[in-house]
Structure 1
Amino acid sequence: MTIRSILLEQLEAVYDRNHWFVCFEMAVKDLTEAEVHCKGEDGHSIFELVHHLYFYNERYLCKFLGEEVQELPRNYNTFQARDAMDWSECIADFRKVMLKFRKEITACSEEKLTKWGGTLTHLFIHNAYHIGQIVSIRKQKKWWSTHPVVKG
């Protein structure tokens, strides 16, 4: 396997295709605006978790593209949306970032992938962790089907 194929498979697994664990698209499927604002046992809502994922993925996409990214204070709350973003906007923005990542990883040079491979792998693992939290909140609130949805 190449670095490119591994990264694309990881991105697919966390974004839009169930493999060993639930992907993002399945984790947020059919949630209402009211549901996404209920807090889980860990203190965060699904909306906050998705915003956090959007925040970091968007920043790392910008870095990957060679764009400058603003330094933020150490105590900056990445779970809190700074504007009047609603659920549908948050989901749409996250999807745009993930699709752009897929496009860029597919098209970039092997040298760039070698340089960025470790960082992107950790970013995608970070996504999987928080997607697991989303599924946990849904299970706590009884908003999760009991039907198996993953392979492995």
Structure 2
Amino acid sequence: MSTKLVLLDQLAACHHDKSWFMPLDEMLRNVTASQALWLNDEGQSIWGLVNHLTFWNETWLERFIEGEVGLDNNINNDETFIVNPSQVSEEDWQKSIERIGATFIRWIQAVRDSDDAKLGMTIPSYFNAPWWNVISNVCIHNAYHIGQIMMLRKKVRGEMI
């Protein structure tokens, strides 16, 4: 199996393919805005996690598409979880769901359209890591937070854990 197929499988598993864990699109289905805003004891919310995933997936996707990684050391990771209090309607929540979904679709298309040479190209400014490794780690990051979303969803919706 090629590296590209493995990455496509990982991206699909995170986004829409029920395999080893429930994918993000399934986790967000039928979650209301008020449920998405509910905070656990650690101050995490489904919406905040979706914003965080959107930020990092869009950031690395743009870097991959452009072929350049200008690392911004001024990024405050905590700020990637923030939900804008002036945009907390049901419509805004649906837009957040659509945005992360569209980002996954763009990732899948970008990997599908890439060749092995691009996937194997190293990123000098990022520990000389090859792109395939970075994309794989983005997927691991996604899976980690999808698990957190699953636990929050179960808690807020009163589902069995």
Compute the TM-score of the two structures, normalised by the length of structure 1. Answer: 0.86
Aligned to 1:92: 98
- CA distance in 1 between counterparts of 2:67 and 2:2 reads 26
Q: Residue 119 of structure 1 aligns to which amino acid in structure 2? A: V
* Residue 104 (structure 1) aligned to one of 103, 110, 114: 110
Aligned to 1:43: 43
Aligned to 2:149: 134
Aligned to 2:26: 26
Where in structure 2 are there 5+ consecutive unaligned residues? Answer: 122-130
Q: Post-superposition shift, 1:42? A: 3.0
Aligned to 2:64: 64
- CA distance in 1 between counterparts of 2:9 and 2:61 reads 17
Q: Post-superposition shift, 1:72? A: 5.4
Q: Residue 76 of structure 2 aligns to which amino acid in structure 1? A: N
Q: Post-superposition shift, 1:71? A: 2.4
Indicate the structure whose relative CO is greater, using CA pairs within 8 Å and at least 6 residues apart. 1
Q: Aligned Cα RMSD in Å? A: 2.2
Q: Post-superposition shift, 1:96? A: 1.2
Where in structure 1 are there 5+ consecutive unaligned residues? Answer: 147-152
Q: Find the residue that maps to 2:31 and give its secondary structure.
A: coil
User: Does the CA-based 8 Å contact 2:25-2:101 persist in structure 1?
Assistant: no
Deviating more after overlay: 61-70 vs 15-24: 61-70
Q: Residue 96 of structure 2 aligns to which amino acid in structure 1? A: C
- CA distance in 2 between counterparts of 1:144 and 1:109 reads 43
Runs of 4+ that moved beyond 3 A: 67-70, 81-85, 142-146
Q: Find the residue that maps to 1:12 and give its secondary structure.
A: helix
